[in-house]
Amino acid sequence: MIGLWLPVAVYMAAIYYGASLPVVPGPVGDWFSDTVLHIGGYAVLALLTLRATAGGRWSGVTGGALVAAFAIATVHGLTVEWEQMYVPNRYAEWRDVGNDAIGALAGLAAAWAWGTMKGTSRAE
């Protein structure tokens, strides 16, 4: 169980750390837009979370596992924005929470589609 949730926790902590910095590190902020960072980052978070909620098996991907992964990723995005209300030079934005949710949804939709194509997903 720890092996399933440890990557989720480490990834979440990395996001919190990055959000706590008063300035986005140069290469990251210069190479990618804020929207791309949020959507891409939360697509990965949702996939890691889905892996954990599905018990590490494609056959474990159910509707409940998908909903749980989406909810966990989206709530994490909300808490990151709340954190940024208290970080100098950073701003909490609803648009970022929306981009986090879009990223989570995109990652989970891709996982669901992959599972459907492979015939291993039970999320119907």
Task: Give the separation between CA 17 and CA 15, rounded to whole angstroms.
Answer: 5
Distance between CA atoms of 6 and 113, rounded to whole angstroms? 25
DSSP state of 61: -
What pLDDT shows up at residue 123? Answer: 53
Q: Which residues of the chain have pLDDT under 50?
A: 124
Which secondary-structure segment (H or E) carries 58?
Answer: none
* Amino acid of residue 72: I
Tokens standing for 69?
């992964």
Domain spans of the chain, in order of start: 2-118
Query: Which pTM does this prediction carry?
Result: 0.87
